[in-house]
Amino acid sequence: MTSISIAHRPASVRPSPSIAAKALVTKLRAEGRRIIDLTVGEPDFVTPRSIMDAAQAAMRAGDTHYTASNGTKSLRQAAANKLMRENGLSYTPDDIVIGSGAKQLIQTALAATLNPGDEVIVPAPYWVSYPDLATLSDGVPVVVACTEEAGFKLLPSQIEAAITSRTKWLVLNSPNNPSGAVYSIAELTALGEVLARHPQVLVMTDEIYEHFIYDGERAISFGRAVPALLERTLTINGVSKAYAMTGWRIGYAAGPRVLAQAMTSLLSQSTTCPSSISQAAALSALSGDQTFVVEARRAYQTRRDRAVSLLDAIPGIACRRPEGAFYAYPNVAGLIGRRTPDGTWIESDLDLSQLLLREGGVSVMDGTSYGLSPYLRVSFATSLETIETGCAAIARVVATLD
C-alpha cells in the first residue's frame, strides 16, 4: 500500500468542537434519538426573502462568473458604506476584502502576517477557532483567562502582562462568543492606552455579533473607540449572523491597505474569489431594509431572558445575563464533584455535557472547548419551545445527581 506522509499542520489543530457537536447531533438523530440541540451557533430564521430574490436576480442576469479575488467592488463599497453608517469607520473599497466567511478572513490575515513563533493574544473564553487558526499559521496562541468577576473581559493589566517582543496580534471579540460579554467604549479605550505603548501589536476585532446587543445598548467598534490605532486594526464582520446567512459564506474585513492587499494575494491562490451569487445576496443584505435585524434582535432578547431565568433556577447552576450574542454561559461549578446514579463522578464541564446528552437527550457545549471552565455554552438561537424543553431536560438530569 502507498504510504502517505501527512504534514504537521492537520495534527497541530483540533477539529472545531462546535462543528463536531453539530455533527454528533445529526448522527444521533439519524439513529432515531430525539435530541434537543442547544449547541447551534447560527440563527434559526430563514434568510430574508429580499436577499434570496437578489441572489436569484443575479443568477438570471448571468452573474455567475469569477469576481475579483477581494470581492466585487459594489459589495466592498456597500461594506464601506455600512462601516461608516453604523460604526463611524472610514474605509474605501480598496481597504476591504470579501471572503468566504469571516473565519476564512481571520485565517488569511494570520497567514499573511505571522512568522513562526509570533504570538497571538487570545482572551478566554474565546471562539473555539482562534487558537487553532493561529497555530495553523505557525503562530503561538497566548490564552489569557478573563474571569466572570471581570465580566469575562480582558483587563488592561492582563494585556500589559501578556505582551512580549514576539506579540503580533491581539484578538478581541465583542459581543463575545461564548460569554455574551460586550466591551464599553471606556473599556476599549483603556485597552487602547496599553496597546499604544506597543506599536508592533496589531488588533483583530471580530464584530460578527454586533447587531445582537440587548437592553437598548449599541455596539462600539474598537476602531471608533480608539481611532489612533485604526491604522493597525483589522475589523472582521460578515452577514452570517445578522441576516441568517450562515450557508451563504460571506464575510468582510476592513483594515490597512497593505494588509488587505496581502490577504487578497493569498485568497487569489486559495478560493480565487467568493461566490458571485452569494456576494449579490450580501450586497442586498448590507444595502437593503434592516427591519429583519431589528426583529431578530427583539426575538433573541426574549429568548435570552427566558433561557437565563430557567438556567439560573436550576440548583448548582448560576447564569450571568449575557449582554450580547445569542449564547448563555452558565457557571456549573456547583455541579462539579457530584455523582450520577450509576456512581460516576462529574469531574469537569465536559463530563457534565456528555451526561446531559446521554441521559437527558440535550446537547450543549462544554466550557473547556472555549478555554474557561467550569461553564456550559447554551445557545438561545432557537425557538422558545426548544429552550424551555432543553432547560427542563437539564433540570431533570441535574436533579438525579447526588
Check residue 269 and give its pLDDT: 97
Peptide bond into 10 cis (omega under 30): no
Is-contact 82 229, C-beta < 8 A? no
65-287, CATH topology level: Aspartate Aminotransferase; domain 2 (3.40.640)
Cα separation, 82 vs 211, in Å, equals 12
Pairing of strands 233-238, 202-206: parallel
Q: Tens of pLDDT along 133-142?
A: 999 999 999 9
Report helix, strand or coil for 2. Answer: coil
Q: Is domain 9-46+292-399 given the CATH code 3.90.1150.10 in the classification?
A: yes
Pairing of strands 167-173, 140-145: unpaired
Q: Checking phi first, is residue 138 left (phi over 0); if not, alpha (psi -120 to 50) or beta? A: left
Domain boundaries, the chain: 9-46+292-399, 65-287
Q: Which residues of the chain have pLDDT under 50?
A: none
Residue-level pLDDT at 1: 60
E strand map for 255-393: 327-328, 362-363, 365-366, 376-379
Residue with cell 459581543: 175
Q: What is the pLDDT of residue 282?
A: 98
pLDDT at 306: 98
* Angstrom distance (rounded) from CA 226 to CA 220: 10
Assign 167 to helix, strand or coil: strand
| Helix (H/G/I), strand (E/B), else coil: 155 | coil
* Euclidean distance between CA atoms 17 and 33, whole angstroms: 21
Confidence at residue 11, expressed as pLDDT on a 0 to 100 scale: 76
The residue assigned the cell 455574551 is 180
From residue 206, give the alpha-carbon distance in Å to each of 15, 210, 220. Answer: 21, 9, 12
Give the global pTM.
0.95
Q: Tell me what pLDDT residue 21 has.
A: 76
Report CA-CA distances (Å) from 337 to 320, 376, 395: 22, 16, 17
Instruction: Give residues with Cβ within 8 angstroms of 185, minimum separation 6.
Output: 220, 224, 225
Amino acid 24: pLDDT: 79
Q: Cα separation of 271 and 280, whole Å?
A: 17
